Every structure is written in C-alpha cells, then in structure tokens.
Amino acid sequence: MSQFFSRRLFILIPIMSILKFIFKSKKVLASQESFDKQYNLTDDEWKNKLSPESYYILREEGTERAFSSHLNNEKRKGIFYCAGCNQALFSSETKFDSGTGWPSFWDSIQGSIETKVDFKLIVPRTEYHCSRCGGHQGHVFNDGPLPTGKRYCNNGLALKFIPG
C-alpha cells in the first residue's frame, strides 16, 4: 500500500510543478499587476471604473479595430494620458502618422511605461503598459522614425487626450 502511494507521489510531484509553472506564466501574460497600491483593483472594481471597451484593452490586453479611434487623427498639441489612472504617457510632440490605423508615437514620457514580451501572435512582440496602474496600452516596434527609431502602437481606447 505505501509503495502504491509513494509511486503516485513520484508521478504527482512533477505534474504539480509543471501545472504551477503553466499557471504562473499565464498570470504573467495577463494584465500586469499594478505597482501603485491605489490602482491595485479587483477585476470588478476596474469594470466599474472603465467603459467595457477600455476594460477589454487595459485589463485584458485587447486590441481595438484599426482606424476606429478618433485619436488616430488627433493633431493638436497636448498630452495623452492613461485612461486607467490619468498618468501622462505621451506628448503630441512625439506623435506621428504611421498609417497603421492606431495612434503612434516615437517616444514615451520618461518612466511612464514598462514593457514585457508577449507571444499572442506566436512571434514575440514587446507589449507595454502604464507603469502606475499596469493597464495595457499597446506594442512597441523598432520601425519608427528618428530620433528613436521606435514605434509605440497604442490603442486609442487606452488613452485620454487633453489639448493644451
């Protein structure tokens, strides 16, 4: 009998550690844990705070339809803020027309974003999110204009623009 159990344990322990690993990596792929306690909200709290569309982008790493955001054509001077926590993320001075259908920037405001690699389209992409609330914003690519050569491809629904 005890031999039976120890054999079972012998099989179970590696399976458990594999499951634990899968669960952990899934958690990393989900929206980032917030760094600021004030924005460490539950899913329900975020749902109350955001529109369903913004919740899908910011908290579930969704992507809005290309050319669907009015911010795509926004050309006024101003600041683009995180729709989740109002942190300033981009200045209009770094906005450019990438032709992709998403608001695009060649630089972010220093310290306002964090990045991680995701594999949602199999090929690795660099995801970025707000450094304060952890809300997903978009993906950054290395085919942008000078001086940085970066292209921050942002969801309009994850931003709030304030001209001025």
Shortest Å, Cβ 49 to Zn ion: 11
114 or 118: CB nearest Zn ion? 114
Told to check if 138 binds Zn ion by CB under 5 A, we report no
Tell me whether residue 82 is one of the annotated catalytic residues. no
36 or 97: CB nearest Zn ion? 36
Question: Binding to Zn ion (CB under 5 A): which residues in 94-133?
Answer: 130, 132-133
Shortest Å, Cβ 154 to Zn ion: 12
Shortest Å, Cβ 2 to Zn ion: 55
Told to check if 140 binds Zn ion by CB under 5 A, we report no
Told to check if 158 binds Zn ion by CB under 5 A, we report no
DSSP secondary structure, the chain, as one string: -HHHHHHHHHHHHHHHHHHHHHHHHHHHHSSPPPSSGGG---HHHHHHHS-HHHHHHHHH---PPTT--GGGG--SSEEEEETTT--EEEEGGGEE--SSSS-EES---TTSEEEEEEEEESEEEEEEEETTT--EEEEEES---TTT--EEEE-GGGEEEEE-
**Among 85, 130, 133, 153, which one carries the catalytic annotation?**
153
**What CA–CA distances, in Å, run from 120 to 18, 28, 136, 163?**
21, 13, 13, 34
Question: Binding to Zn ion (CB under 5 A): which residues in 30-89?
Answer: 82, 84-85, 87
**What are the catalytic residues?**
153
Q: Which residues bind Zn ion (CB under 5 A)?
A: 82, 84-85, 87, 130, 132-133, 135
